[in-house]
Amino acid sequence: MKRSTAVMAACAVALGSAAVALPNATAAAQGCRVDYTVTSQWQGGFQATVRVTNLGDALTGWSLGFAFPSSAQKVSQGWNATWSQSGASVTATNVDWNRSLGTGASTDLGLVGSWSGSNPSPTSFTLNGVACTGSPTTTSTTSTTTTTTNPPVPRTPVEANGQLRVCGVNLCNQYNRPIQLRGMSTHGIQWFDKCYNNASLDALVNDWKADLLRIAMYVQEQGYETNPSGFTNRVNSLVDMAESRGLYALIDFHTLTPGDPNYNLDRAKTFFSQVASRNANKRNVIYEIANEPNGVSWQGIKNYAEQVIPVIRAADPDAVVIVGTRAWSSLGVSEGSSETEVINNPVNATNIMYAFHFYAASHKDNYRATVSRAASRLPLFVTEFGTVLATGGGTYDQASTAAWLDLLDSLKISYANWTYSDANESSAALRPGTCNGSNYSGSGVLTDSGAYIKSRISTPDNFPTS
């Protein structure tokens, strides 16, 4: 995938009362700024981000319009807005969670499109039907003149959001505002430890613009049970590396075989007692207590969770804890059940979320329908997903992956992609051999899957800061 960038159109406009009710005759003039960026381009297709910044009075409800230079350019997918197209004309209308734009506030949209011949970018935009026409507006009153500017943007995800908590069905930040974290999962650190170093984490922060690193510590399969102190120390070191870069660290107790987490109950209590005590004062730590339970009842998983969570709470009472769900964390779907078993019998604990995993080439409409239903009743976190088959192999399915990520974006469900590694499998983001060197930046080290996931993760976060 060829990467190109074209930043277009800084626009401002005076909006009259038809677009927004003015409080009095001397109310501030309205203005907007639109930044259109082509983040990726390939033969016949492209991806773009669109940042809309309100430079005037607060808006409740908005619609952005623009026209492609050619009707051969088509929006095939979009996120963070309701997208429509007629001929060359495109409209993006707010969704519920971003319908309000305060003075200086921005919202970030995105689209994947197709093109033929050439791919010129739009050069003019409208907000609520009025043309954006120039540079940011100076706001005047009867006696003073001020210039509206964007509020300062915190430098890192942890600086922006602070200590996380669960509020309702959402992951919320220090302002009790719903947020979405987007990042990458390691592969098993017993196999790919060399992939996780200063250079690779710098690339994850600076090149990918990621929000979190999931640390996959297998318990069996040459993992924790073979060297508990060594693996605990390595997890803690990766937590520190993430913290120093402002990333959230998701500590994953990666139980897979055997599928009943109770097999590792004593190990889990020991491990989480140690890491929670050691990291209790950090704001960037999230605990995932059982990766993919399988072949075990929901009641069995619930019993396990209700014994491990108090161990964490004794040392770290504030951190978010994520509980794996039945059938490889599919809310039971992959073993013929559904989310109702969790809804009707939830874990007896607070500040928790439930894990959901999918692999886009294997898990499609019925799994997406489950997430759509469950998200209104349960706080969900997609702690692992792949762009390929559930085996971790096969050709990556971009269309299904895009449909999944569009859904997660619309529901503000956080996610981590499997995997930030150079494993010789199509789910890996890095090309084989990358971790033998020191270069983790740029498109040359990415697989097709990695290039697409990076293009989605690297779009601006737009975290609420008040």
243 carries an active-site annotation? no
Indicate which residue of 292, 339, 341, 425 is catalytic: 292
Label each residue of the chain as H, E or C: CECCCCEECCCCCCCCCCCCCCCCCCCCCCCEEEEEEEEEEECCEEEEEEEEEECCCCEECCEEEEECCCCCCEEEEEECCEEEEECCEEEEECCHHHCEECCCCEEEEEEEEECCCCCCCCCCEEECCEECCCCCCEEECCCCEEECCCCCCCCCHHHHHCCCEEECCEEECCCCCECCCEEEECCCHHHHHHHCCHHHHHHHHHCCCCCEEEEEEECCCCCHHHCHHHHHHHHHHHHHHHHHCCCEEEEEEECCCCCCHHHHHHHHHHHHHHHHHHHCCCCCEEEECCCCCCCCCHHHHHHHHHHHHHHHHHHCCCCCEEECCHHHHCCCHHHCCCCHHHHCCCCCCCCEEEEEEEECCCCCHHHHHHHHHHCCCCCEEEEEEECCCCCCCCCCCHHHHHHHHHHHHHHCCCEEEECCCCCCCCCCCECCCHHHCCCCCCHHHECHHHHHHHHHHCCCCCCCCC
Q: 243, 288, 341, 384: which is the annotated catalytic residue?
A: 384
225 is catalytic: no
Which positions are annotated as active-site residues? 292, 384
